[in-house]
Amino acid sequence: MRIESARRLRDLPRNSFATTAARIDGLVRSGEDVVNLCQGNPDLPTPPHIVESLRTEVLDPATHRYGSFSGLLALKAAIAGWYATHHRVELDPETEVAILFGAKAGLVELSQCFLDPGDVCLMPDPAFPDYWAGVALAGARTHPLPLRRENAFLPDYTALDRATRERARLMFLNYPNNPASVTAPPEFYADTVRFADRHGVLVASDFAYGALSFDGEAPVSFLRADGAKEVGVEFISLSKMFNMAGWRVGAVVGNREVVAAIDLLQEHYFVSLPPFIQRAAITALTGPQDCVHELSKIYERRRDVFVSGVRDVGWDLDVPRSVFAWLPTPGGEPSVAFADALLDRAKVAVSPGRWFGGHGEGYVRVSLLAPEERLREAVARLARFR
């Protein structure tokens, strides 16, 4: 008997990162020295005081039981406190904060909560590919919002035709942007709120890299804009700010109807995060933030090493504002072909811009989540390859 999966699974976009990771693993097993700058996987350990908190909490038998379906109120309060301190945004912990099994899960769940088959989702192009997965699972369709260098990689809402504006129900935004590594100014978010309110579009702001500051300038939260909570929500991730990628702690905050819908869906998927992880996450958010500031400095030094290196060999590159470099391919060469050749001949792994959408063509994304000496080695190999 042939067993076929449901159409929703057959329609899911393929994960190119997983395929390339397997290829890189094969090269490493065969003895090749690959500089892997493909994935956005933090390479530094979780700060010791957070790990020690987990060690203490996991020894408490009370944390071995099922927790509240929607998570610990104390963790929600810690998230609200973090927003108040760092972004001057006031949140009600009980109604405006939902805890997630990593921000990635919530970004997929949101489409399932608010899109019906045939609905339109406005999708930045290029974009983090997991946004597409949620839309596909909901049976909806995407309409691209091109992010172009000449427009500072911000979408132009005026370029949308009237029919698309009226049919759209959801829109994803992501600043600091992955993959283009730019930030958004406050006036852009003010325009976004006006657009969303006028056309009834729910805004999903992916703020996963929002805790990391470069050149002394902190990224701006979408929720700082007047009326933002009326039209949307924002996603945060402890993976990036505290090197807690394997802990899978994220949150969605803002509009209370959206938060309630996410909580309802998750009641059927999970019984929230393990309580000992939630308690350790409270320690991370309410404890000393020196580790976050130091992490930003480390990433800034790495960025400077990479940028100065590729510019020295004559490569055009805008200064990144996040942990990725959005590197134009030589002569606009197709990104997949360039990345494949770079891996085959120079043993440097990067992500083709095409993986992030049609408007990512002509670029590759370079992850800066590697030690400085490996970034220098990557630059040397790029120079020889060129």
Q: In this predicted model, what pLDDT tens digit does every residue of 50-87 receive, in sequence order?
A: 999 999 999 999 999 998 899 999 999 999 999 999 99
Spans of all domains in the chain? 7-45+290-385, 48-286
Rounded to two decimals, the pTM is 0.95
358 has pLDDT over 80: yes
**How many Å apart are CA 238 and CA 153, to the nearest integer?**
25
What count of other Cβ atoms lies within 10 Å of the Cβ of residue 32?
11
- pLDDT, tens digit (0-9, with 9 covering 90-100), for 207-216: 999 999 999 9
Which CATH class for the 48-286 domain? alpha beta
User: What average pLDDT does range 177-197 have in this prediction?
Assistant: 97
What is the pLDDT of the chain when averaged over all its residues?
95
Q: What is the pLDDT of residue 60?
A: 96
CATH number, domain 7-45+290-385: 3.90.1150.10
Look up residue 87 and give its two tokens: 């972004």
pLDDT digit string (tens) for 259-317? 999 999 999 998 889 999 999 999 999 999 999 999 999 999 999 999 999 999 888 89
CA nearest 102: which of 77, 140, 128? 128
Residue 149: count other Cβ atoms within 10 Å of its Cβ. 14
Cβ atoms within 10 Å, residue 196: 22
